């Protein structure tokens, strides 16, 4: 059972408790004007409420589940016997308590008025039991549907997350292959960086939530792997505001923005490659932005699979309570992500 299901079930029980408390108060104030005795009113209200509860839950939790779907006629027969039994128990109990023990002789001495009132109220209580059963079944159906949706969302998230890793690893391995092909001394360092990245995928990316600091460290390793293959210096400017630390976010949410910047904003034959990364953390929100020069003849190109997967993941995790935008400003491309904390 997920936490939302537990909270909903607790709320449903709380509603029932409040309704029974209200029922007791209704009976109490109704009887107080008739009996004009506080002790008699308290005891009678307790007895009546207990009888009503036994009738309601007896129908909703015993009669309907056991007999209704098996045979409607059998259910009706058992219901009549059940209501007659409850009515008899109520009349006997009220007669014993109020007629004999409390010497309140009016009404509780098996008169016709006593029987009619008891029978009618028991019938109504039995009907409320049917309504309660309908409500419980509807609630259970909604709960199972919500659990199914949660399981489906979790499966989709795992699928989308798994698609991110091969997509990233293909690019990283291509970079290392290039270095090895060129017999570069930077190949071992690149492999070491990739090892750190693989460790993050295995130990952190499989979790539901990771710290902001861990995700940023992963981004820095990725940048160094990409930087190694470039013949010219890459200028990366970091800007951080707020307290960056152990706030929890989904894993692998920054990498599509940074990867997109390398894919479309870095040209290894040019020297003016630059990327600006800004992180802004508040108590309720995290903003992550990547700004890069537009290369490839001024065309940035359409966002790839990484950004598309990211948008799907964020929608599953936050519904519409997030912002992911990409815009072009003169010769720069800016991708911005905002998620709640």
Give residue 6's pLDDT band: very low, low, confident or very high (50, 70, 90): low
On whether residue 156 sits in a domain, the answer given is: no
Residues 128 and 192 reside in one and the same domain: no
> With 0-12 CB in 10 A as exposed, 13-18 as middle and 19+ as buried, what is 190?
buried
Q: In terms of pLDDT, which residue wins out, 333 or 33?
A: 333
On whether residue 155 sits in a domain, the answer given is: no
Residues 219 and 330 reside in one and the same domain: yes
pLDDT number for residue 162? 57
Q: What percent of the chain has pLDDT over 70?
A: 83
Residues 109 and 233 reside in one and the same domain: no
pLDDT tens-place string over residues 269-328: 777 788 899 999 998 899 999 998 877 544 444 555 667 778 888 887 888 889 998 888
Checking if the pLDDT of 7 tops 60, the result is: no
d(CA 45, CA 56): 16
d(CA 163, CA 306): 9
Q: What percent of the chain has pLDDT over 90?
A: 10
pLDDT number for residue 235? 86
In this prediction the pTM is 0.54
Give residue 45's pLDDT band: very low, low, confident or very high (50, 70, 90): confident
Residues 18 and 140 reside in one and the same domain: yes
Q: Which of 93, 122, 146 is the endpoint of a domain?
A: 146
Residues 188 and 142 reside in one and the same domain: no
On whether residue 173 sits in a domain, the answer given is: no
Residues 197 and 307 reside in one and the same domain: yes
Q: Which of 146, 165, 200 is the endpoint of a domain?
A: 146
Q: Comparing 7-11, 52-56, 241-245, which segment has the lowest mean pLDDT?
A: 7-11
Checking if the pLDDT of 338 tops 90, the result is: yes
Q: Are residues 7 and 14 in contact, defined by beta-carbon separation less than 8 angstroms?
A: no
Residues 336 and 211 reside in one and the same domain: yes
On whether residue 316 sits in a domain, the answer given is: yes
Residues 196 and 320 reside in one and the same domain: yes
How many domains would you assign to the chain? Answer: 2
d(CA 67, CA 169): 60
Checking if the pLDDT of 71 tops 70, the result is: yes
On whether residue 159 sits in a domain, the answer given is: no
pLDDT number for residue 287? 94
Give residue 3's pLDDT band: very low, low, confident or very high (50, 70, 90): very low
Residues 106 and 205 reside in one and the same domain: no
pLDDT number for residue 255? 85
Assign residue 231 the CATH number of its domain.
3.30.565.10
Residues 200 and 276 reside in one and the same domain: yes
pLDDT tens-place string over residues 115-160: 788 888 888 988 888 888 888 888 777 777 777 766 666 666 565 5
Checking if the pLDDT of 97 tops 60, the result is: yes
d(CA 129, CA 20): 13
Residues contacting residue 157 through CB under 8 Å, at least 6 positions apart? 313, 316, 317
Select, from the ranges 95-104, 149-158, 242-251, the one with the highest average predicted confidence (pLDDT): 242-251
Checking if the pLDDT of 201 tops 70, the result is: yes
Q: Which residues pair with 275 in a beta bridge?
A: 236, 292
The torsion angles phi and psi of 307, rounded to 5 degrees, stand at -70, -35
Q: Is the torsion defined by CA of 326, 329, 330, 334 positive or negative? A: negative
On whether residue 20 sits in a domain, the answer given is: yes
On whether residue 250 sits in a domain, the answer given is: yes
pLDDT number for residue 336? 92
* Domain membership of residue 249 as a residue range: 184-340
d(CA 190, CA 175): 8
pLDDT tens-place string over residues 209-228: 889 998 898 898 888 887 87
Q: Which of 124, 146, 168 is the endpoint of a domain?
A: 146
pLDDT number for residue 27? 85
Q: Are residues 82 and 59 in contact, defined by beta-carbon separation less than 8 angstroms?
A: yes
Distances (CA, A) of 242 to 8, 205, 247, 278: 36, 24, 11, 11
Q: In terms of pLDDT, which residue wins out, 33 or 105?
A: 33
Residues 139 and 196 reside in one and the same domain: no
On whether residue 119 sits in a domain, the answer given is: yes
Mean residue pLDDT of the chain comes to 79
Residues 309 and 263 reside in one and the same domain: yes
Q: Which residues pair with 235 in a beta bridge?
A: 274
């Amino acid at each position: 059972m997920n936490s939302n299901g537990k909270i909903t079930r607790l709320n449903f029980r709380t509603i029932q408790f409040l309704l029974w408390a209200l029922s007791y108060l209704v009976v109490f104030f109704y009887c107080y004007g008739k009996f004009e005795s506080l002790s008699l009113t308290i005891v009678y209200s307790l007895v009546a409420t207990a009888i009503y509860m036994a009738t309601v839950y007896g129908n909703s939790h015993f009669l309907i589940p056991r007999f209704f779907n098996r045979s409607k006629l059998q259910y009706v027969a058992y219901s009549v016997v059940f209501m007659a039994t409850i009515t008899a128990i109520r009349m006997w109990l009220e007669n014993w308590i109020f007629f004999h023990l409390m010497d309140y002789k009016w009404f509780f001495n098996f008169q016709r008025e006593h029987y009619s009132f008891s029978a009618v109220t028991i019938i109504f209580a039995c009907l409320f039991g049917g309504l309660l059963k309908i409500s419980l079944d509807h609630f259970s159906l909604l709960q199972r549907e919500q659990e199914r949706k949660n399981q489906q969302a979790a499966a989709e998230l795992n699928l989308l997350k798994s698609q991110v890793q091969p997509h990233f690893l293909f690019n990283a391995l291509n970079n290392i292959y290039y270095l090895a092909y060129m017999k570069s001394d930077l190949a071992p360092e690149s492999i070491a960086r990739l090892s750190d990245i693989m460790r993050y995928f295995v130990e952190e990316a499989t979790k539901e939530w990771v710290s902001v600091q861990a995700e940023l460290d992963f981004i820095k390793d990725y940048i160094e792997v990409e930087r190694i293959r470039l013949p010219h210096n890459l200028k990366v400017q970091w800007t951080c505001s707020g307290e960056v630390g152990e706030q929890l976010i989904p894993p692998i949410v920054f990498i599509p923005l940074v990867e997109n910047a390398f894919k479309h904003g870095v040209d290894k034959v040019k020297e003016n490659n630059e990327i600006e990364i800004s992180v802004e953390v508040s108590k309720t929100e995290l903003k992550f932005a990547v700004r890069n020069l537009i290369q490839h003849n001024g065309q940035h190109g359409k966002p790839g699979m990484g950004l598309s997967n990211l948008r799907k993941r964020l929608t599953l995790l936050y519904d519409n309570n997030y912002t992911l935008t990409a815009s072009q400003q003169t010769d720069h491309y800016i991708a911005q992500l905002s998620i709640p904390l």
